[in-house]
Structure 1
Amino acid sequence: MNPGFLIKDPRSRIELRLSAAASSQERLAFLNDASTRIGSTLDLAHTCREVLDVAVPRFADTGGIMVQERLITEGEFPVRPKDGSALVRRVATAVAVDNPWDWNTAFPVGEVAVYPPLLPQGQAMATAKTVLVPRLEQAVGDENAEAFGRPIIARLLPGCSFLVTPLVARGNVLGFFVLVRRESSEPFQDGDIALAEELAARTAICIDNARLYGRERRTALTLQSALLPTLLQESPGLEIGYRYLPAGDLAHVGGDWFDVIRLSDERTALVVGDVMGHGIRAAATMGQLRTATQTLASLDLDPGELLFRLNRVAQQLDADQLATCVYATYDRATGALAIASAGHVPPVLVRPNGLAEIVPVVPGPPLGVGGERLEICEATMPAGGMLALYTDGLVETRDRSISDGIADLCSLLTGPPREIERICDLIVKAQRPADKRDDIALLLAKAMPVERTTPLC
C-alpha cells in the first residue's frame, strides 16, 4: 500500500470530531496538538502525512494535500498561471470512511494533474483564498469525474461538504489542502475556515522548510559529484580500487575527495582528503583544494612540500574551513613510497605476505592552520603490496573510536590475495556505520609486477 494513503477508523470521528460549536479552548488544543506532531522531519511527504493524520477524522472524514510539481522536483517556487491552473501532485490522502479503497481509486496518491479554475481546487489556487462548499452538487461531482476520467468520483463527491485552503508561504501558493465531510456528517461552516487556514499556514511553513532543505542537499550533491573524479587515471604498475559513499543524512553532504595523479611513466601520486564540515561550503572548498593539489602535483614536489604549499592555498580560501589530507608518491621501478599527512588518518600498508600494518606517518596540523613543513615517511611497497588511503568516516562512529576502527580495517585487509574490487566491497560493508552520518572515501593501490623485456640479441 502507498505510504501516503492513510486509513483511519471511521468510528473514532464520533468521539473525536471537532464541531463548529467547539470552544476556543478546544480549537486551540487542536492547533497545539498539530504543532507538536507536524514537521518532525524535513521530509516533504512525511510532513504531509503528519498533517492529515492530525486532521482526519478530528476535523474531516477525508483529506488530501496537493503540492505543485515543480516545488517537489526542483525545489523552486512555482510560477502561478493567471488562470490559477497549475501542475500539482497528490502527496498524501487520509480517509476515515467505510469504503476507503473507493477513495484511493478516485484520488490516487502520486497523481499529477491540473485543476481547472472552474473547480474549487483551481479557484483556491487562483485566488489564494479558502473556498467553502457547504454541499457539493451532483453537477460539480460530474465535472470532477469528467475532468479526471473517473466515473467513481461522481458517486463519491455529491452531497459532501468541501473546504479547500491554499498552502501559502513567502507569498507563493505551494498547493492546496482539501478537507471533505461526507453527506452523513455535519457540513463545514464559516467558523471552520479560520481553523483550516491556521492549519494550512503551519503546514505551508513546514513544506517550505523541507523544500529549502531538499534544494540545498541536491545542490551540494550535484556540486560534490561534479568535483569528484568520474574516472581515475590509469597508473602504470598500479591496480586501483576505490569507493565513495555520500552521507545518508540530509544535512551531511561533506567534502571528502580522492585522486590518482600520474606524475611520469614511473611515478604516481595518491591523494585522499577531507574538508571538515558539511554542506555546499565544504563541497566547494573540496573542489578548490582538489584542483590546487592537481596543479601542485604537476610541479613534482615531494609530499611534504606539496602539502606545505596546499596549506597556503587553504588559508587563502576560507579561514574557517579546515581540511585534512594525505599525499603519497609511488615509484614503480623501486617500489618506494613517500607519504606526508596534514592531520589525516594514517594509511595502511599491506605486505605481499598479506599482513596489514599502519604506516607510521607523523601527522602535521590540518590544512588551513600552521605553516611548518611536514615530515615525510618513507616505505617500500613491492609487487603484491597494497596501500590503503581513506577518510575518518570509514573508521569512526559514535560507538567506536578511530583507533578501534583502524584496527578493524587492518584486520579486514590482512589475509591471502583477493581481487581489489572484492576487498573494497568487503571493507565498506563491514565498516560503514548504520547511521551513515559522514561521507566515506576509500582508495586502494596495489603494486603490480614490473614487466621486463629480454633483448633478442
Structure 2
Amino acid sequence: MPVRSAGMNPAERQKGVVVEGELVSDPGSAATDRFALARRAVAAIGTTLDDRGTAAELAAFLVEELCDSATVDLYGPQEGRREAGESLHSAAVAGRRDLLDSLEKAPRDRVSVRALDAGHPITASSSHGGAALVTLSVPLLAWDRVYGVALALRADRPFDDDETAAVHYAARLAAAHMRHSEEQREAGPRVWDLRKVLPADPERTHPEVELAVRHVPCGTGGRVGGDWCETLHLHSGRVLLVVGEVMGHGLDAAVDMNAYRSTLRCVASTDLAPHGILRRLDAMMSAESGRRPATCLLALLDPADGTAQLASAGHLPPVVFRADGTAGPVPLRVGPPIGTGPGSGLAAHEATRLPLAQDDTLVAFTYGLIARRGEDIDTSLARLSGLRTGPGAGAGELLDGILGEFLCAPAPDAARTDDDITVLATRLHPRP
C-alpha cells in the first residue's frame, strides 16, 4: 500500500520500509522513492537545536508525507525519562484541526500512555462524523530516553505496516536530534570553562597598536563553537594577531581549540614568519590523531615600517578599511587548514605583505560573521567591504557597526547560521 502524501494521489509515492528504526529498502523499482522519503525526513527534521522547533518540523513532515493531522507532545527539558507524576506538554500541531478537535482527550491520553509504556507505535480507532478516525501514537525514543510522543491521525484509512514504520523512523529521527540538543546544553558550561583557560582578548596594550575584539556566542542554547583570537607580543616591538576556528561545535571543538592555541603560542615564540608558524603548527597537530582541523589567520604587525605580514590556513581573508573610506578583502594565498598534514595535496602556506597607513583598519573575523544560508561567500564579503566608517571612528566603534549591520539587518533571502562570531580589528599608530 503506497505512502500517502498530502495533496497527492497515494499512488504517486512509494512506501518506505523501516527495520529496527532504520529505513531500508528491498530490491526493486521502489527503492529510490523509499530512500527519497528518508532523505526528505533528514532534510526537514532537526534543522535547529530547539526541541519545540524540532517537534514542529516533525509534525509538519508527518502531515506532508503520511497523515492528515499530527501533534507532538514533549516532556519538560529537565524531566528526562518518564516517571509517575510527570506530564506531557503540547509542543506542535499541524494539519486538519477538525480531526484533532474531534479526538477526545481521554482516548488521546490512553493511546499516548500505551505507546510510551510499550516503547513502540500503538494504533487506536474512533469515529469522526460517521467516518473512521485512526490514531497512530509513536514515542520519541532515543538511546533509551523518552522525550515525548507523536500522534498521527488519518480519516477513513488505517496505517499499514510500512507507513507505521515510516512514522516510527521520523519520530526516532526527531528524538535523536533532541538528544543531541540536550548534550549540547549539558556541554555548554564545560565549554565556557575551557574558554577561560587561555585569554582571548588582547593580553596587554601596545603603544603603537590599537586593538579591539568582539565575540558573539551562537544564538541557539548550549551550542558552542571553537572560535578563538588573541595577540602575542614578539621581539622588536612586533605584534602577532591570531584568529582561528576549529571545525565543528561542542566540547570536542573547545578542547581542540585550546590545544591549537597553546601549541601556536609555543611555535610563535621561535620568531618564525607567519607562514612558517602555520607550517610548523600543521606538522605538529596533524601528528596527533583525533584532532579536528582548524582554519587560522595570522597577521604579524610591524609598527616601525607600517606593514603586516599575513598568512592563512584555510581562513577567510581579512578586510582592510582604508582611511579614504574604501574597503576590500586582502588578496591572500590560502594554504590548507591546520591539522590536515603535508599530504593534503594543497599548496603550502605563504605570506603576503600588506602596507598599512596610519588610519587604515585591518579587520579579521571567523566564518560566523558573514555566513548566510543560500548566499555565496563572495556576496557576503562584498557586503562587508561595502560598509563605510564615519570619520574619527575607533577600532571598537567600527566593530560595533559591523556587528550591528550583520546581526540586525534583515536578510529575506538567507538566514544566518548558528556559528559563533569572533571579530578583531587593529590599527597602527606609529610614533613620529
Matched, 1:41 2:13: no
Equivalent in the alignment of 1:436: 416
Matched, 1:416 2:383: no
Letter paired with 1:447 = L
Equivalent in the alignment of 2:75: 68
Give SS of 1:69's match.
Answer: coil
C-alpha separation in 1, matches of 2:152 and 2:300: 66
Correspondence list, 1:13-32, <5 A: none
Give SS of 1:330's match.
Answer: strand
Q: Aligned to 2:60, which of 50, 55, 58? A: 50
C-alpha separation in 1, matches of 2:342 and 2:254: 23
Q: Aligned to 2:137, which of 155, 158, 165? A: 165
Unaligned regions of 5+ residues in structure 1, if any? Answer: 1-15, 17-23, 108-114, 137-159, 453-457
- Inter-CA distance 122–358: structure 2 relative to 1 (3 Å threshold): closer
- Inter-CA distance 264–370: structure 2 relative to 1 (3 Å threshold): same
Letter paired with 1:167 = P
Letter paired with 2:149 = F
May I ask how many residue pairs the two structures share in their alignment? Answer: 374
Whether the aligned pair in 1 keeps the contact of 2:70 and 2:151 (CA below 8 Å) is yes
Q: Deviations over 1:356-395 (max 9, x none)?
A: 5666765555434449996655566565342222346667
Whether the aligned pair in 1 keeps the contact of 2:111 and 2:137 (CA below 8 Å) is no
Give SS of 1:339's match.
Answer: strand
Correspondence list, 1:254-269, <5 A: 255-262=226-233, 267-269=238-240
Q: Deviations over 1:101-128 (max 9, x none)?
A: x99xx98xxxxxxx9xx96654553454
C-alpha separation in 1, matches of 2:349 and 2:100: 73
Equivalent in the alignment of 2:149: 176
Q: Deviations over 1:159-202 (max 9, x none)?
A: x9996835164555443345789xxx99x9xx879799656523
Letter paired with 2:299 = A
Whether the aligned pair in 1 keeps the contact of 2:297 and 2:312 (CA below 8 Å) is yes
Whether the aligned pair in 1 keeps the contact of 2:362 and 2:427 (CA below 8 Å) is yes
Letter paired with 2:81 = V
Correspondence list, 1:336-415, <5 A: 336-343=306-313, 344-350=315-321, 352=323, 354=325, 356=327, 365-367=336-338, 368-370=340-342, 381=356, 383-391=358-366, 400=376, 402=378, 409-412=384-387
C-alpha separation in 1, matches of 2:124 and 2:330: 74
Whether the aligned pair in 1 keeps the contact of 2:63 and 2:70 (CA below 8 Å) is no
Q: Aligned to 1:329, which of 300, 308, 312? A: 300
- Inter-CA distance 131–304: structure 2 relative to 1 (3 Å threshold): closer
Whether the aligned pair in 2 keeps the contact of 1:257 and 1:441 (CA below 8 Å) is yes
Equivalent in the alignment of 2:116: 125
Q: Aligned to 1:292, which of 242, 260, 263? A: 263
Q: Deviations over 1:118-172 (max 9, x none)?
A: 9665455345477788889xxxxxxxxxxxxxxxxxxxxxxx9996835164555
C-alpha separation in 1, matches of 2:354 and 2:170: 60
Whether the aligned pair in 1 keeps the contact of 2:59 and 2:70 (CA below 8 Å) is no
Give SS of 1:207's match.
Answer: helix
Q: What is the CA RMSD across the aligned residues, in angstroms?
A: 5.6
Q: Aligned to 2:81, which of 79, 93, 108? A: 79
- Inter-CA distance 194–293: structure 2 relative to 1 (3 Å threshold): same
Equivalent in the alignment of 2:27: none
Equivalent in the alignment of 2:91: 91
C-alpha separation in 1, matches of 2:335 and 2:167: 55
Equivalent in the alignment of 2:287: 316
Letter paired with 2:424 = L
- Inter-CA distance 130–235: structure 2 relative to 1 (3 Å threshold): same
Letter paired with 2:148 = G
C-alpha separation in 2, matches of 1:361 and 1:29: 52
Q: Shift in Å at residue 311 of structure 1?
A: 2.2
Q: Shift in Å at residue 444 of structure 1?
A: 0.5
Matched, 1:447 2:414: no
Give SS of 1:236's match.
Answer: coil
Q: Shift in Å at residue 443 of structure 1?
A: 1.4
Equivalent in the alignment of 1:233: 203
Equivalent in the alignment of 1:111: none
